[in-house]
Amino acid sequence: MSLDRPDSWRYPSLVAHRCGGTLAPENTLAGLTLAVRHHVGMVEFDAKLSADNVPFLLHDDDVDRTSNGRGAAVTMSYSEIAALDAGSWFAAEFAQERMPTLESVARRCIELGLCANVEIKPCAGRDEVTGELVARAVARLWKDAPVPPLLSSFSEEALAAAQTSAPALPRGLLFGKLPHDWLARVKRLDCVSVHFEHTPIGREQVESIRSEGLRTLAYTVNDASRARTLRAWGVDAICTDRIDTVT
């Protein structure tokens, strides 16, 4: 996919990390509501598969940190996952918040007018099937949305499978520190954007990415001054936990 397509990048410059940043339990519907309340136009969240191949939201490989459950997500059916309390760990007011399906998140994003960055987050050994099924679901669930979700992943195998199953969806490759061969890897997956951890990045690297006709997304930028600097360098989107202070 090339940036000479007029519709290839229509995303807001501020993105709420894991739905609502630090204001809500991560990867929950509650976070979407808070993103809108803070006038954020785009949310990022992590999508993976349950044991019965239902796409749902969770960052970690296990459910321990963000729910009252225990165990690897890959061993659990979605009905088991849906029974867990994914909010009380964060605050009592979010008790009984669930790990939502991708379908319910799509419905709410469309209702609220939110753009989405769907990070494909496969459990170990499930890269290809996760990329395929998440991308296929995204294409179906957002088929009538005015702006298609932006798919991203650290897993090149997952992103390649997404490219095959839903080639029309825009893709961005995620990096921690930008590797020397970043351009070849991005081109191999026909990405429209490069997503990077902001701490080690410099102006010259941002300019190098943009000189190739690619867009940029920096994560996770929680300092307003740093966000201003990155924007001055030409970074297109800032992903933040602090949707209350970074604008």
Question: Which domain CATH number covers 56?
Answer: 3.20.20.190
Phi-psi region of 125 (alpha: psi -120 to 50; beta: other; left: phi over 0): left
Whether 149 is in a domain gets the answer: yes
| Domain-located, residue 245 | no
* 8 within a domain of the structure (yes/no): no
d(CA 71, CA 74): 9
What is the Cα–Cα distance from 163 to 172, expressed in whole angstroms?
11
Q: Is 195 assigned a catalytic role?
A: no
Does 220 fall in a domain?
yes
Q: How far is CA 133 from CA 30, 47, 69, 145, in A?
A: 25, 10, 25, 19
Q: How far apart are the first and last CA of the chain?
A: 29
Strand 150-153, strand 171-175: pairing: parallel
User: Strand pairing partners for 215?
Assistant: 193
Is 180 a known active-site residue?
no
pLDDT, tens only, 223-237: 999 999 999 999 999
Cβ-in-10-Å burial (0-12, 13-18, 19+) of 232 comes to exposed
Q: Which domain holds residue 178?
A: 14-240
- Would 3 be classed as within a structural domain? no
Please indicate, yes or no, if residue 114 is contained in any of the structural domains: yes
Per the structure, how many domains does the chain have?
Answer: 1
Over residues 22-80, the pLDDT tens digits come to 999 999 999 999 999 999 999 999 999 999 999 999 999 999 999 999 999 999 999 99
Which tens digits make up the pLDDT trace of 2-11? 334 445 799 9
Assess if residue 1 is contained within a domain: no
For residue 127, give Cα distances in angstroms to 44, 82, 131, 186.
Answer: 19, 22, 6, 17
Which residue among 39, 59, 180, 195 is the active-site one?
59
Catalytic residue among 17, 38, 195, 198: 17
101, 118, 189 from 157: Cα distances, Å: 23, 16, 10
State the CB neighbour count (10 A cutoff) for residue 39: 10
pTM of the full structure: 0.96
Residue 116 belongs to a domain: yes
